[in-house]
C-alpha cells in the first residue's frame, strides 16, 4: 500500500502544475494564455444566471460595485475601498481639517501642534539633526500616517483602474467586464511598481548600500536615524501592502488559482516591512523592496500587451522580464540572504544586544528572524519562477496553440461581471 501511494505522488504534482499552467485565473499564467480576437470577447448573458432583486423588484447593486451608496453608507460598509469618490472625500476632509487648524491655531491654540499633520506628513523629527539634512526616527504616529495612506492608495487604485485603464482597454476593443477588471488591475500594477521601483533606486543611490553593497546593511547598525525620503518611502510601501491585503481578504478581486500563495506573499511582505522597520533595518528593507518592485512592473506590462494582442511586443517584453526577474528576485535576493548569514557580524559589538530603548535588537538569534521571512519570500518566488519558465517553454515549443485551447478568462461569469461593471 505504501509503494502504490508513493507512485501516485508525482502524478498528483504533475496534475497540479498542469492545472495551474492552463488555469485562466492564475495571476501569472492565466493572462498569458491566448486571447480571443479583440472586439469579440463579449458574451450574451447566460439565461440560467441567478439574478439578484430587492423586495421592490429593482435589481440589487453588487456588494463591491464602484457605485456609491452614499458617503456614510460607504464608510460603514467599507465600500470606500472601491468607490473612489468616497475615498477622495475622506482624503479631502482630512486636508480641510488640517488647513483649518493651520489658519485658526495662531489665534486660538498658538502652542498646540496640528493634530491632523501626522496623517499627511511624516512625524518624529529628531531635533538634534541638522535642518539642512534632517533625520527622523520611528514612532507610534507612523501608524496614523499608514492608515491615511491606505485610503490614499484605495483612491489611486480605483481611479487608475476606472478612469484611465478601462477607457484604454475599450479603445483597444476589450469589452468583457472581467477582462476590463484584469486590465485595470495590471495597469495599476505597472504604474505603481514603475514609480516605486524608480523611487527605490533614487533612495538607494543616496545610501551607502548603493547597488547592493550588502556589508553596509550591518556596518554602523543601528540605522535608526532615517532620511525623510527613506521614511516616507517605507511608510508608503507599508500602506500599499496593507491596502492590497484588504483587497485580497475582502475578495475585491476575483480569487485566482494561487490565492493562498498570494495571501502568503502579502503576509510575508508585511512581516518583512514591519519587522525591518521595528528593528531599524530599513537599509536592507529598501534593497528587498527594490528587488521586488522592478520585476513586477515588467510582469504587468507583459500582461497588458497580451490582453491587447500585441504578440510580438509581448514576446520581447516577456523575454526581458524573465531576465529582470531572474536577476532581481533571485540573484539579488540570494545575495541578501548570503549577507544575513555571513555578514551579520560586521555590526559593532555594542549593537549585538537586545536593547530597544537604544535602538538595537540584533542578538545572535535575531539573524534567523531576519533570514526566515526573506527565505520564505524566495520560496514563493521560486514557486512562481517555475511557472514563468513553463510559460516560456510552452511559447517556444507549442507552436500549434490556438484560441480554442484557452479561449478567455473567467468565461462562466460574464453575466455577473457585466452587471457589476
Quote the CA–CA distance of 380 and 255 in Å, as a whole number.
18
Q: Give the number of other CB atoms < 10 A from CB of residue 6.
A: 9
Examine the pLDDT at 134 and tell me if it is beyond 90. yes
pLDDT for 29:
58
Element (H, E) at 88: helix 84-108
pTM for the full predicted model: 0.82
pLDDT at 338 > cutoff 60 = yes
Residue 256's pLDDT band (boundaries 50, 70, 90)?
Answer: low
C-alpha cell at 388: 514563468
Per-residue model confidence (pLDDT) at position 178: 86
- Model confidence over 324-335: pLDDT tens digits? 999 999 999 999
Residue 254 confidence class, pLDDT cut points 50, 70, 90? low
Mean pLDDT of the chain: 83
Choose among 284, 274, 282, 272: nearest CA to 215.
Answer: 284
Helix axes 84-108, 141-159, angle to 10 degrees: 140
Q: Residues 6 or more apart from 157 whose CB is under 8 A from it?
A: 188, 243, 247
C-beta separation of 262 from 20 below 8 A: no
**pLDDT for position 258:** 66
Q: What is the pLDDT of residues 378-412, one digit of tens each?
A: 999 999 899 899 888 887 776 433 333 333 444 44
- Given a cut of 50, whether residue 416 has pLDDT beyond it is no
Cα–Cα distance, 70 to 79 (Å, whole number):
10
Q: Rounded to whole angstroms, how far apart are CA atoms 349 and 118?
A: 35
Residue of 63 and 315 predicted with greater confidence: 315
Residue 267: per-residue pLDDT: 84
| pLDDT of amino acid 407 | 37
Say yes or no to pLDDT of 162 above 70.
yes
Partners of 59 in the β-ladder: 53
Contacts of 17 (CB under 8 A, 6+ apart): 386, 387, 390
CA distance 275 to 279: 6
How big is the CA angle at 117 (ends 143 and 78), to the nearest 5 degrees? Answer: 50
DSSP string for residues in 211-263: TT-GGGGTTT----SB-HHHHHHHHHHHHHHHHHHHHHHTT-S---TTHHHHH
Max Cα distance, the chain (Å): 85
> What per-residue confidence (pLDDT) applies to 50?
39
The pLDDT assigned to 18 comes to 58
State percent of the chain over pLDDT 70. Answer: 78
Of 72-76, 295-299, 352-356, 413-417, the least confident: 413-417
Q: Please tell me the predicted confidence (pLDDT) of residue 15.
A: 54
Exposure on the CB side of residue 378, measured as CA atoms within 13 A: 18
The answer to whether residue 104 scores a pLDDT higher than 70 is yes
| pLDDT tops 60 at residue 241 | yes
pLDDT in tens, 184-221: 999 999 999 999 999 999 999 999 999 999 999 999 99
136-151 residue pLDDT tens: 999 999 999 999 999 9
Does residue 254 contact residue 178 with C-beta atoms inside 8 Å?
A: yes
Residue 226 phi/psi, 5-degree rounding, is -105, 140
- Cα-flanking dihedrals φ and ψ of residue 59, to 5°? -65, 140
Radius of gyration of the chain (CA): 24
Burial 325-356 (b: 16+ CB within 10 A, else e): beebbbebbeebbebbeeebeebeeebbeeee
End-to-end CA distance of the chain: 53
Least confident piece of the model among 105-119, 219-233, 314-328, 330-344: 105-119
pLDDT tens per residue across span 53-96: 444 444 444 567 788 889 999 999 899 999 999 999 999 999 99
CB 227, CB 206: distance < 8 Å: yes
Tell me the H-state helices in 281-365.
282-307, 311-325, 333-342
Give yes or no for residue 19 having a pLDDT over 60. no
Amino acid at each position: 500500500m505504501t509503494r502504490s501511494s508513493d507512485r501516485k505522488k508525482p502524478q498528483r504534482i504533475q496534475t497540479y502544475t498542469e492545472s495551474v499552467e492552463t488555469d485562466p485565473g492564475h495571476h501569472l499564467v492565466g493572462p498569458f494564455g491566448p486571447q480571443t480576437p479583440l472586439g469579440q470577447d463579449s458574451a450574451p448573458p447566460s439565461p440560467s444566471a441567478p439574478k439578484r432583486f430587492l423586495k421592490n423588484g429593482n435589481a440589487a447593486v453588487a456588494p463591491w460595485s464602484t457605485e456609491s451608496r452614499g458617503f456614510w453608507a460607504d464608510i460603514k460598509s467599507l465600500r470606500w475601498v472601491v468607490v473612489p469618490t468616497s475615498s477622495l472625500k475622506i482624503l479631502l476632509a482630512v486636508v480641510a481639517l488640517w488647513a483649518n487648524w493651520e489658519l485658526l491655531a495662531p489665534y486660538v491654540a498658538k502652542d498646540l501642534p496640528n493634530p491632523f499633520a501626522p496623517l499627511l506628513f511624516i512625524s518624529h523629527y529628531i531635533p538634534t539633526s541638522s535642518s539642512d539634512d534632517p533625520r527622523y526616527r520611528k514612532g507610534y504616529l507612523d501608524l496614523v500616517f499608514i492608515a491615511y495612506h491606505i485610503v490614499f492608495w484605495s483612491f489611486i487604485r480605483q481611479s487608475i483602474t476606472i478612469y484611465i485603464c478601462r477607457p484604454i482597454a475599450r479603445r483597444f476593443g476589450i469589452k468583457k467586464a472581467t477582462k476590463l477588471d484584469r486590465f485595470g488591475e495590471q495597469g495599476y500594477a505597472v504604474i505603481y511598481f514603475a514609480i516605486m521601483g524608480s523611487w527605490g533606486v533614487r533612495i538607494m543611490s543616496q545610501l551607502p548600500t548603493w547597488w547592493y553593497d550588502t556589508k553596509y546593511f550591518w556596518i554602523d547598525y543601528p540605522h535608526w536615524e532615517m532620511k525623510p525620503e527613506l521614511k516616507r518611502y517605507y511608510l508608503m510601501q507599508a500602506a500599499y501592502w496593507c491596502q492590497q491585503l484588504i483587497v485580497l481578504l475582502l475578495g475585491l478581486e476575483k480569487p485566482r488559482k494561487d490565492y493562498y500563495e498570494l495571501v502568503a506573499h502579502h503576509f510575508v511582505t508585511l512581516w518583512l516591512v514591519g519587522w525591518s522597520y521595528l528593528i531599524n533595518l530599513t537599509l536592507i528593507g529598501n534593497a528587498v523592496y527594490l528587488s521586488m518592485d522592478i520585476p513586477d512592473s515588467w510582469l504587468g506590462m507583459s500582461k497588458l500587451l497580451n490582453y491587447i494582442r500585441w504578440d510580438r511586443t509581448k514576446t520581447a517584453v516577456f523575454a526581458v522580464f524573465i531576465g529582470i526577474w531572474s536577476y532581481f528576485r533571485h540573484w539579488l535576493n540570494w545575495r541578501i540572504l548570503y549577507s544575513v548569514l555571513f555578514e551579520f557580524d560586521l555590526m559593532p559589538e555594542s549593537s549585538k544586544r537586545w536593547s530597544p530603548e537604544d535602538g538595537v535588537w540584533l542578538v545572535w538569534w535575531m539573524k534567523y528572524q531576519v533570514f526566515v521571512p526573506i527565505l520564505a519570500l524566495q520560496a514563493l518566488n521560486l514557486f512562481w519562477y517555475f511557472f514563468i519558465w513553463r510559460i516560456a517553454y510552452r511559447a517556444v515549443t507549442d507552436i500549434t496553440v490556438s484560441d480554442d485551447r484557452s479561449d478567455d478568462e473567467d468565461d462562466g461569469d460574464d453575466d455577473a461581471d457585466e452587471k457589476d461593471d
